Structure 1
Amino acid sequence: MRLRLKQAWLKMRLGLATSALFRRSYRARRFAYLAPHIHLADPSIAADIAAGQVVLGGRSLLCGDRSPFLVHPPSEGFVRALYGFGWLAHCDASPLPEVRAHARKLVRDFLTLPEKERSPIADHPAVVARRVIAWVTHSGLLAEGEDRPGYERLLDQLARDGALLAVYARRPDLGVARLHAAVGLAFHALALDRGRRAIPRAEQALDMALAALVAPDGATQDRDCGTVALIAADLVAMLALYRVRQIAPPPAVASTLTDMIAFLRLLQHPDGGLTLMNGGGRIARDLAGEVIRSRRGPATLLTSAVETGFERLENAHAVLIADAGTPPRRSCAGRAGASALAFEFSSRADRIITSCGMPPGADAAIARAYRSAAAHSSVLIDGDGLGSLYDAMMVTGETETRLRPLAGAVAPLRARSETGETLTLGHRGFIDRHGYALERQLTLVDAFAGLIGRDRFDDLTGEARQRLVTIAFHLNPRLVPVRLSRPDAVVLRLPEGKPGYDQFVFEAPGHTVLVEESRVFEAGSPHNRSHCLVIEAEIAGSTEIGWRILPYMPEFV
Structure 2
Amino acid sequence: MALKTVGEQGRIMRLLGHHLWQTSLRWLHGGPLFRLQPFAGTPSRLLIAPQDLRTADQTNAMDIYGGRFLFSGQVVEARGRSPFELKGEDDGWQRELHSFGWLRDLRAAESKVARQNARALVDDWIKHCGRWHDIGWEQPVVARRVLSWLAQSPLVLEEGDAEFYRRFLRSLGRQVRFLRRTINEAPDGVPRLQAALAVAAASVSMAGQGRFVRQSMRRLEYELQRQILPDGGHVSRNPRAILDILTDLLPIRQAFVTQGLETPAGMMQAIDRMMPMVRFFRHADGAFAHFNGMGSTPTDLVATILAYDDARGAPPGNAPHAGYQRLSGGETVVLMDTGVPPPVHLSEAAHAGCLSLELSSGRHRIVVNCGVSSRASDGWRQVARSTAAHSTAGIEDSSSCRFLADKPFGRWLGAPVVAGPTSVPVERIEDAMGTRVTASHNGYAARFHVLHERDIRLASDGSVLDGLDLFTSSGALSEQDHFTLRFHLHPLVKPELLRGGSGAELVCPDGETWEFDASGGELALEESVYLSDVYGHRRTQQLVIYGRISQASQIAWQFRRTVLARPQRRFRTDEDGLYPPLDD
Partner of 1:520: 530
Corresponding residue SS for 2:546: strand
Within 5 A, what are the aligned runs for 1:119-130?
120-130=134-144
Alpha-carbon distance, 1:249 to partner: 1.5
Cα RMSD after superposing both structures: 2.6
User: Of 490, 505, 508, which residue of structure 1 is paired with 2:515?
Assistant: 505
User: Of 396, 400, 425, which residue of structure 1 is paired with 2:439?
Assistant: 425
2:235 paired with 1:225: no
* Number of residues of Structure 1 aligned to a counterpart in Structure 2: 546
- Contact 1:318-1:450 at 8 Å conserved across structures: no
Partner of 1:96: 111
Partner of 1:181: 195
User: Of 194, 201, 206, which residue of structure 1 is paired with 2:220?
Assistant: 206
Counterpart CA distance in 2 for 1:173 and 1:71 is: 27
Corresponding residue SS for 1:362: coil
Partner of 2:265: 251
Corresponding residue SS for 1:100: helix
User: Of 360, 371, 385, which residue of structure 1 is paired with 2:374?
Assistant: 360
Change (3 A) 1:446 1:210: same
- Contact 2:450-2:477 at 8 Å conserved across structures: no
Change (3 A) 1:133 1:6: closer
Change (3 A) 1:173 1:52: closer
Alpha-carbon distance, 1:527 to partner: 7.3
Counterpart CA distance in 2 for 1:167 and 1:385 is: 40
Specify the code of the residue in structure 2 equivalent to 1:154. Answer: F
Within 5 A, what are the aligned runs for 1:263-342?
263-299=277-313, 301-342=315-356
Corresponding residue SS for 1:38: coil
Specify the code of the residue in structure 2 equivalent to 1:503. Answer: T
Unpaired runs of at least 5, structure 1: none
- Contact 1:227-1:279 at 8 Å conserved across structures: no
Partner of 2:25: 9
Specify the code of the residue in structure 2 equivalent to 1:9. Answer: L
Within 5 A, what are the aligned runs for 1:376-455?
376-390=390-404, 399-416=413-430, 419-455=433-469
Partner of 1:144: 158
Partner of 1:488: 502
* Deviations 1:528-551 (CA, angstroms, capped at 9, x unpaired): 332222112122166001112112
Alpha-carbon distance, 1:260 to partner: 1.1
Partner of 2:97: 82
- Contact 2:283-2:363 at 8 Å conserved across structures: no
Partner of 2:559: 549
Corresponding residue SS for 1:216: coil
Change (3 A) 1:450 1:61: farther
- Contact 2:396-2:480 at 8 Å conserved across structures: no
Alpha-carbon distance, 1:514 to partner: 2.1
Unpaired runs of at least 5, structure 2: 1-15, 565-584
Partner of 1:55: 70
Partner of 2:49: 34
Specify the code of the residue in structure 1 equivalent to 2:367. Answer: I
2:40 paired with 1:24: yes
Partner of 2:546: 536
User: Of 205, 209, 227, which residue of structure 2 is paired with 1:195?
Assistant: 209
Specify the code of the residue in structure 2 equivalent to 1:13. Answer: H
Corresponding residue SS for 2:560: strand
Counterpart CA distance in 2 for 1:552 and 1:527 is: 30
- Contact 1:505-1:550 at 8 Å conserved across structures: yes
Counterpart CA distance in 1 for 2:81 and 2:533 is: 29
- Contact 2:287-2:299 at 8 Å conserved across structures: yes
Specify the code of the residue in structure 1 equivalent to 2:154. Answer: G
Change (3 A) 1:353 1:518: same
* Deviations 1:180-200 (CA, angstroms, capped at 9, x unpaired): 110111111111113321211
- Contact 2:233-2:239 at 8 Å conserved across structures: yes
Specify the code of the residue in structure 1 equivalent to 2:556. Answer: G
User: Of 69, 74, 82, which residue of structure 1 is paired with 2:84?
Assistant: 69
Change (3 A) 1:35 1:401: same
Alpha-carbon distance, 1:476 to partner: 1.1
Range with greater deviation from structure 2 (307-316 or 291-300) = 291-300
* Deviations 1:403-450 (CA, angstroms, capped at 9, x unpaired): 234133322111246753111110122122112111011111224433
Specify the code of the residue in structure 1 equivalent to 2:500. Answer: R
Change (3 A) 1:417 1:199: closer
2:180 paired with 1:170: no
Alpha-carbon distance, 1:87 to partner: 1.1
* Deviations 1:310-369 (CA, angstroms, capped at 9, x unpaired): 111112130111110322122211222222111111111311111112223223332222
- Contact 1:491-1:552 at 8 Å conserved across structures: no
Counterpart CA distance in 1 for 2:53 and 2:306 is: 11
Change (3 A) 1:2 1:331: closer
Counterpart CA distance in 1 for 2:215 and 2:26 is: 20
Counterpart CA distance in 1 for 2:192 and 2:231 is: 19
